[in-house]
A and B are shown apart, each in its own frame.
Chain A
Amino acid sequence: MGPPSPRPASHGALTMGALVLVLCALVATTFDGARWTASEDRVDPSAAAEQDDADRADETQQQEQPRSDDGGDDRWLPWAPPISALLLVPAAVIFAVALLVFARLRLVRRRRQLSRRIGSRRTPLPEAEPPPEDEEAGLSEALDESARMLGEGSPRNAIVAAWVRLEQAVEGEHFAHRPEETPTELVARVVASYRLDGAAEEGAIRRLAALYREARFSTHPVTEDHRAEAADCLRRLLASLRTGAR
């Protein structure tokens, strides 16, 4: 029942961006061209308003001159953008490439972020490979220490302290501390990582986690029975770890 991974439609946005860019370049080119001819036309009405008929006749003559030149140009190059518009093209290309690279980088970064986030939650067993021997030896020491801590203080505090020691013990280079994890999720990772194949060992660590939760989050009395049960769980874990090492 896994939910689909969240992935905004970046490709669509990218294509859209490129399209807009091309359109911008086209508009810029045509706009520049239009202004070029319009600037000549604009002389027309203003001049007409101020000058008398003779002058106007003169001007139309003058105007016809460049227009005939235009006609000559048209014959050879019917669609010739001005130099300034041509300069826009490389600028637009550079801009487009920069935009593409930037979008790509962002996409990759976001994907990495998402996969890290989702990966931490949905696939809790990425480091299923067993930790090295010396780490297991360290774990067995920590279990010993945990058992010792279990004997000290009130049962509630002892169980919590023993669990926290165990939590810290399993953490290492192969087993990162994840603050967002609940004890149940941690146990699932430990079971997968530390060769706890036997149902007895798995049961022991699950029961220990349940005892910890009860000691940590309940307000009803935690008795010596709870302490004894936790000690029994620890003993079973230790025994299985030692036989496994042998």
Chain B
Amino acid sequence: MTQELGVADASRKARAVLDEIERAVVGKRDALTLVLAAVLAGGHVLLEDFPGLGKTLAARSFAQTLGLDFRRAQFTPDLLPADLTGSFIYDQGQAKFEFRPGPLFTGLLLADEINRTPPKTQAALLEAMQERQVTVEGETFVLDPPFLVLATANPVEYEGTYPLPEAQLDRFLLRVGFGYPDAAEEWEVLRRRLERQREEQTLAQVVSREELLAIQAAVESVTVDPDIGRYCVALAAATRRHQHTLVGSSPRGGLALMLVARGYAVIDGRDYVVPEDVKAVAVPALAHRITIRPELWMTDISGRTVVETVLGQVPAPTARDRV
């Protein structure tokens, strides 16, 4: 049973989680806020960036602070779907087949280097991510909420990687990049390591699983003005009409925009969504759903630039028509 939680309390707890994670991940408050907004919205996040920028550390820190059962699956080229979902094993003592659950049966799954495994295994995650259930040999097993996937990926230019198919990418509520830290932040990372005098970083648990579910319930109570909803739809639709896109964002992109904006509003301590929330989450929520025209592959044009252009064109909700 989850207790009722006001938006103010939910916001306070969410910020406490961020403060705790920032002890491990230095100077990435904005990116961490986005990830937490997606987690509060009950979605999965893809952390995509170059190696060594703290993606795995961030994912582990979220698991520790959110008090979730945590499993890590290292995605390798020879990983098979059954390695994730689990499989039926013959029990000689009882003379029957018994289901042995795989790493998917957890609260937070860290799918490390998800683009190192072939599409077959990547696709095994699809059903789990979307339907929150797993089907093995015709039998369906429901995954306990909250089931979250934090996947990490290196950019596809690296050898030995399989770019995620569009359908799989669309399942991620957000794609967040951390980016390189500046010199001061980088020194801070080194300094903290010296201070700690050991490699591993352990964080305190800030909320329990039940509290996380309560915060997610509080996010569901956030008001979204119809004009804000229409703004999300207009942004997603505008990516489809943009001259540089081959395939724009699906309607799921507009939905993601609204859901993450709600989580973002709660972290900011509000029980209503404002256009600023939508703009803040638009790039990570939409950019990975956009396919750029193939003839532009050598240019700097990306999903990100398309979304940014669209943000500068679509009229934001206003009150002029109401006065």
Q: Which residue numbers of A lie inside 8 Å of B, CB to CB?
A: 1, 3-9, 12, 117-118, 120-121, 160-161, 163-165, 167, 179-184, 212-214, 216-220
- A218's nearest neighbour on chain B, judged by CB, is B272
If the complex has contacts A182-B279, A217-B225, are A8 and B299 also in contact, measured as CB distance less than 8 A?
yes
If the complex has contacts A179-B316, A217-B223, are A160 and B322 also in contact, measured as CB distance less than 8 A?
yes
Q: Which residues of A contact B304 (CB under 8 A)?
A: 3
Q: Which residues of B contact A164 (CB under 8 A)?
A: 318-320, 322-323
A213 to B313, CA, bound (A): 21
Q: Which of B275, B301, B316, B319 contacts A160 (CB 8 A)?
A: B319
Q: Is the CB of B305 within 8 A of A3?
A: yes
Q: Can you report 9 residue pairs joining A to B where beta carbons are below 8 Å apart?
A: A3-B304, A5-B305, A6-B299, A117-B309, A121-B308, A164-B323, A180-B311, A183-B275, A217-B273
Q: Is the CB of B275 within 8 A of A182?
A: yes
Q: Is the CB of B298 within 8 A of A180?
A: no
A4 to B298, CA, bound (A): 13
A213 to B228, CA, bound (A): 12
A160 to B223, CA, bound (A): 18
If the complex has contacts A161-B323, A219-B223, are A179 and B272 also in contact, measured as CB distance less than 8 A?
no
Report if B300 contacts A (CB, 8 A).
Answer: yes
Report if B55 contacts A (CB, 8 A).
Answer: no
- B244's nearest neighbour on chain A, judged by CB, is A6
Instruction: List CB contacts (< 8 Å) of B285-313 with chain A.
Output: 296, 298-302, 304-305, 308-309, 311-313
Report if B51 contacts A (CB, 8 A).
Answer: no
Q: Is the CB of B319 within 8 A of A219?
A: no
A44 to B301, CA, bound (A): 59
- B228's nearest neighbour on chain A, judged by CB, is A217
Q: Which residues of A contact B279 (CB under 8 A)?
A: 182
Q: Is the CB of A216 within 8 A of B309?
A: no
A228 to B320, CA, bound (A): 22
Closest beta carbon of chain B to A83's beta carbon, Å: 40
Q: Which residues of B contact A167 (CB under 8 A)?
A: 320
Q: Is the CB of A184 within 8 A of B276?
A: yes
If the complex has contacts A180-B311, A217-B228, are A1 and B179 also in contact, measured as CB distance less than 8 A?
yes
Q: Which residues of A contact B309 (CB under 8 A)?
A: 6, 117-118, 121
Q: Which residues of B contact A220 (CB under 8 A)?
A: 223, 271-272
A6 to B309, CA, bound (A): 10
Report if B257 contacts A (CB, 8 A).
Answer: no
Q: Which residues of A contact B41 (CB under 8 A)?
A: none
Q: Is the CB of A216 within 8 A of B299?
A: no
Q: Is the CB of B319 within 8 A of A9?
A: no
Instruction: Select the residue from A4, A12, A182 with max chain B CB neighbours within 10 A.
Output: A182
Closest beta carbon of chain B to A180's beta carbon, Å: 6
Given contacts A160-B319, A164-B319, A183-B274, 16 further A-B contacts (CB under 8 A): A3-B304, A3-B308, A8-B299, A118-B308, A120-B312, A121-B309, A121-B312, A179-B316, A180-B312, A183-B275, A213-B276, A214-B270, A217-B274, A218-B270, A219-B272, A220-B272
Q: Which residues of B contact A117 (CB under 8 A)?
A: 309, 312-313
Closest beta carbon of chain B to A213's beta carbon, Å: 5
Smallest CB-CB A-B distances: 6 pairs: A179-B315, A121-B312, A218-B272, A4-B300, A6-B301, A182-B275
Closest beta carbon of chain A to B257's beta carbon, Å: 14
Q: Is the CB of A8 within 8 A of B316?
A: no
Report if B314 contacts A (CB, 8 A).
Answer: yes
- B223's nearest neighbour on chain A, judged by CB, is A219
Closest beta carbon of chain B to A215's beta carbon, Å: 9
